[in-house]
Chain A
Amino acid sequence: MAQAPKVQLPDTPAAYDRDLERIEVELLLEAVYRHYGFDFRSYAYSSLKRRVWKRIHQDGLNTITQLADRVLHDPAMMEKLLLDLSINVTAMFRDPGFYAAFREKVVPALRTYPFIRIWHAGCSTGEEVFSMAILLEEEGLYDRARIYATDINEVVLQRARAGIFPLDKMQEYTQNYLKAGGKRSFSEYYTALYDGALFNAALTRNVVFSQHNLVTDGSFSEFNVIVCRNVMIYFDRKLQNRVHGLFYESLGRFGTLALGNKETLRFTEFEDRYEVVDAREKIYRRLA
Chain B
Amino acid sequence: MTSPPIGYRIVVVGASAGGLHALRTLVSALPEDFDVPVVVVQHRAKESELLCELLQECSPMTVYEVTDKQEIGPGVFVGPPDYHLLLDRDGYFSLSTDEPVRYSRPSIDVMFESAADVYGMDTVGVVLTGANQDGAAGLRRIADAGGHCVVQDPDTSEVRVMPRFAVRAVPDACVLPLEEIGPHLAAIRGRRVPRCRSAA
Interface residues of A (CB under 8 A from B): 6-9, 11-12, 14-15, 18, 44-47, 49-51, 87, 89, 230, 232-234, 236-237, 240, 260-264, 266-267
Task: Report whether B140 and A14 are in contact in the complex, using a CB–CB cutoff of 8 Å.
Answer: yes
The residues of B that contact A89 with a CB separation of less than 8 Å are: 97-99
Whole-angstrom distance between the alpha carbons of A260 and B69 in the complex?
13
Contact with A along B75-104 (1 / 0, CB 8 A): 000001001101111101011111111110
Q: Report the minimum CB–CB distance from B14 to chain A (whole Å).
A: 15
Please name the 4 residue pairs, one residue from A and one from B, whose CB atoms are nearest each other, closest first. Answer: A46-B86, A44-B94, A46-B114, A47-B96
Q: Verify if B66 is at the interface (C-beta below 8 Å from A).
A: yes
**Among A46, A51, A87, contact of B94 (Cβ-Cβ < 8 Å):** A46
**Among A6, A47, A237, A261, contact of B69 (Cβ-Cβ < 8 Å):** A237
**Among B84, B92, B96, B137, contact of A267 (Cβ-Cβ < 8 Å):** B92
With CB as the reference atom, state the residue of chain B lying closest to A9: B101
Contact with A along B58-78 (1 / 0, CB 8 A): 000000001111110000000
Task: Report whether B113 and A51 are in contact in the complex, using a CB–CB cutoff of 8 Å.
Answer: no
Task: Report whether B110 and A50 are in contact in the complex, using a CB–CB cutoff of 8 Å.
Answer: yes
Task: Report whether B95 and A233 are in contact in the complex, using a CB–CB cutoff of 8 Å.
Answer: yes
Whole-angstrom distance between the alpha carbons of A179 and B74 in the complex?
37
Interface size in chain B (residues, C-beta < 8 A): 36
Contact with A along B128-147 (1 / 0, CB 8 A): 00000000010011001000
Q: Verify if B158 is at the interface (C-beta below 8 Å from A).
A: no
Whole-angstrom distance between the alpha carbons of A20 and B68 in the complex?
27
Q: List 30 A-B contacts (CB under 8 A).
A: A6-B103, A8-B101, A8-B102, A9-B99, A9-B110, A11-B113, A12-B113, A14-B141, A15-B144, A18-B120, A44-B86, A44-B96, A45-B88, A45-B89, A46-B94, A46-B117, A47-B84, A47-B96, A49-B117, A50-B98, A50-B110, A87-B96, A233-B83, A233-B94, A233-B96, A236-B88, A236-B90, A237-B92, A262-B95, A264-B68
The residues of A that contact B101 with a CB separation of less than 8 Å are: 8-9
Q: Verify if B122 is at the interface (C-beta below 8 Å from A).
A: no
Q: Verify if B109 is at the interface (C-beta below 8 Å from A).
A: yes
Whole-angstrom distance between the alpha carbons of A232 and B118 in the complex?
21
Task: Report whether B67 and A263 are in contact in the complex, using a CB–CB cutoff of 8 Å.
Answer: yes
Task: Report whether B87 and A46 are in contact in the complex, using a CB–CB cutoff of 8 Å.
Answer: yes
The residues of A that contact B109 with a CB separation of less than 8 Å are: 11
Q: A14-B141, A18-B117 are in contact. Are A262 and B67 (CB under 8 A)?
A: yes
A11-B113, A44-B88 given. 18 additional CB < 8 A pairs? A6-B103, A11-B141, A14-B140, A14-B144, A44-B86, A45-B88, A46-B117, A47-B84, A47-B94, A50-B98, A233-B68, A233-B69, A233-B96, A262-B80, A262-B95, A264-B67, A266-B67, A267-B71
The residues of B that contact A266 with a CB separation of less than 8 Å are: 67
Q: Report the minimum CB–CB distance from B69 to chain A (whole Å).
A: 5
Task: Report whether B89 and A262 are in contact in the complex, using a CB–CB cutoff of 8 Å.
Answer: no
Q: Report the minimum CB–CB distance from B109 to chain A (whole Å).
A: 7
Task: Report whether A6 and B99 are in contact in the complex, using a CB–CB cutoff of 8 Å.
Answer: yes
The residues of B that contact A11 with a CB separation of less than 8 Å are: 109, 113, 137, 141
